[in-house]
């Protein structure tokens, strides 16, 4: 039985969320009307997971989340709006240590809540088994409170665990798939990459449409390389990272002007978008597996595992994030189960490995 604390100032939202988890089964539930009650329940009820609204009177969701991570670190799933402001606040929450988020329906709650019910239950169940990194949260809290620019993550020096093949020749792009825990992980991946990195980096991060633009801008402000959201066919260039637009898929294609990243309508038979398998398959078709490096990072499910295993089998190189540094070891774990990774690395070691392969 998973102990779940639902925190929301709306009586209707608390009622609807309670009904969802009662119907799903397997949950012992408690509710709180605001951040103050949530902190009381944090110790009295000792939840395994918390769903936390961002906008509440008094102690709001971000301040409450910060206190949760200090007083009793617990997996938290944020419940946020689909506005740009909601996206910025949600990204801040993820940097503070929230595991994941679910966007509130745009329409009347009582009519639209069923559209997110299954996803919410799935994310809360995944969060119950999530790994929390206390050190990372502490670093992020210091960044938030002092408003200082973040420093690039210092990669752990474990050279013996890296591939000793030296520089890779003929690489045209790096493909990254990531989901739950992705935004903070992308910070760690991209911040150490130098501005003159010779390979474009193309990223499928599972997110709604209104979140990927703010994510790209946030990363662009933190990184030496340029980070952009792909909203139209965009030529791939060295020293750039390309974030797929949410609720669509991201493809790599050859055009007369060269190789581009481009958005495509989400394929309805695929569960997650932007879809990593579809990204990798398009890049293999356009460039050949030998010209690609794949990186599959933290996330629930198995998106990307099959295509990245095929990439490796075709002569490309693939890195899987290890279980110890993944919030949820679903996607990279599925890749490892398929024996589709050349290397299984802790998150801080992935960027140094890419730099080693790129410049020798």
DSSP run (H or E) holding 322: none
What are the CA-CA distances from residue 275 to residues 68, 209, 245, 304, 311 (Å)?
A: 33, 13, 11, 8, 16
User: Cα 97 vs. chain centroid, distance in angstroms?
Assistant: 12
240 counts as catalytic: no
84-96 and 182-190 helices, crossing angle to 10°: 70
Burial class for 194, CB neighbours closer than 10 Å (0-12, 13-18, 19+) = middle
- Cα(344)–Cα(154) distance, integer angstroms: 18
Surface-to-core class of residue 32, CB atoms within 10 Å of its CB (0-12 exposed, 13-18 middle, 19+ buried): buried
In 36-99, which ranges are E strands? 49-53, 76-80
Spot the catalytic one: 80, 81, 95, 179.
179
Q: Is 348 exposed, middle or buried (0-12, 13-18, 19+ CB in 10 A)?
A: middle
Task: Identify the active-site residue in 206, 240, 273, 317.
Answer: 206
Contacts of 98 (CB under 8 A, 6+ apart): 52, 65, 76, 77, 78, 90
Whether 196 is a known active-site residue: answer no
Side by side, the strands of the sheet bearing 234-235 are 234-235, 258-265, 248-255
In contact, 294 and 311? CB cutoff 8 Å: yes
Q: Which residue in the list 303, 317, 322, 326 is annotated as catalytic?
A: 303
Q: Can you spell out the DSSP letters for 64-122?
A: HHHHHHHHS---EEEEE-SSHHHHHHHHHHHHHT--EEEEPPSS-HHHHTHHHHHHHHH
Residue 179 annotated as catalytic: yes
Annotated catalytic residues are 179, 206, 303
């Amino acid at each position: 039985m998973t102990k779940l604390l639902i925190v929301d100032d709306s009586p209707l939202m608390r009622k609807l969320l309670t009904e969802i988890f009662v119907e799903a089964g397997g949950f012992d539930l408690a509710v709180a009307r605001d951040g103050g009650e949530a902190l009381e329940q944090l110790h009295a009820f000792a939840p395994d997971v918390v769903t936390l609204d961002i906008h509440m009177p008094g102690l709001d969701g971000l301040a409450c989340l910060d206190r949760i991570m200090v007083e009793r670190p617990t997996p938290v799933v944020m419940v946020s709006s689909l506005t740009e402001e909601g996206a910025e606040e949600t990204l801040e929450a993820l940097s503070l240590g929230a595991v994941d988020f679910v966007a509130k329906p745009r329409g009347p709650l009582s009519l639209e809540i069923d559209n997110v019910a299954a996803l919410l239950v799935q994310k809360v169940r995944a969060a119950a088994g999530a790994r929390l990194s206390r050190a990372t949260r502490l670093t992020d809290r210091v960044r938030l409170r002092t408003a200082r620019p973040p420093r690039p993550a210092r990669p752990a020096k474990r050279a013996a665990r890296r591939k000793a093949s030296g520089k890779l020749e003929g690489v045209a792009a790096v493909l990254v798939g990531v989901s739950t825990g992705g935004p903070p992980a992308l910070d760690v991946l991209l911040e150490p990459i130098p501005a003159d990195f010779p390979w474009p980096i193309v990223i499928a991060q599972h997110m709604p449409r209104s979140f990927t633009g703010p994510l790209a801008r946030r990363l662009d402000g933190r990184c030496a390389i340029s980070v952009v959201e792909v909203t139209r066919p965009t030529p791939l260039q060295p020293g750039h990272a390309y974030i797929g637009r949410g609720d669509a898929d991201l493809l790599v294609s050859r055009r007369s002007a060269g190789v581009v990243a481009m958005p495509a309508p989400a394929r309805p038979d695929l569960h997650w978008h932007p879809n990593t398998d579809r990204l990798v398959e398009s890049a293999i078709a356009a460039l050949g597996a030998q010209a690609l490096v794949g990186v599959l990072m933290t996330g629930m499910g198995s998106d990307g595992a099959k295509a990245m295993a095929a990439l490796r089998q075709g002569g490309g190189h693939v890195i899987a994030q290890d279980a110890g540094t993944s919030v949820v070891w679903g996607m990279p774990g599925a890749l490892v189960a398929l024996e589709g990774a050349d290397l299984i690395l802790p998150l801080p070691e992935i960027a140094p490995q890419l730099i080693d392969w790129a410049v020798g």
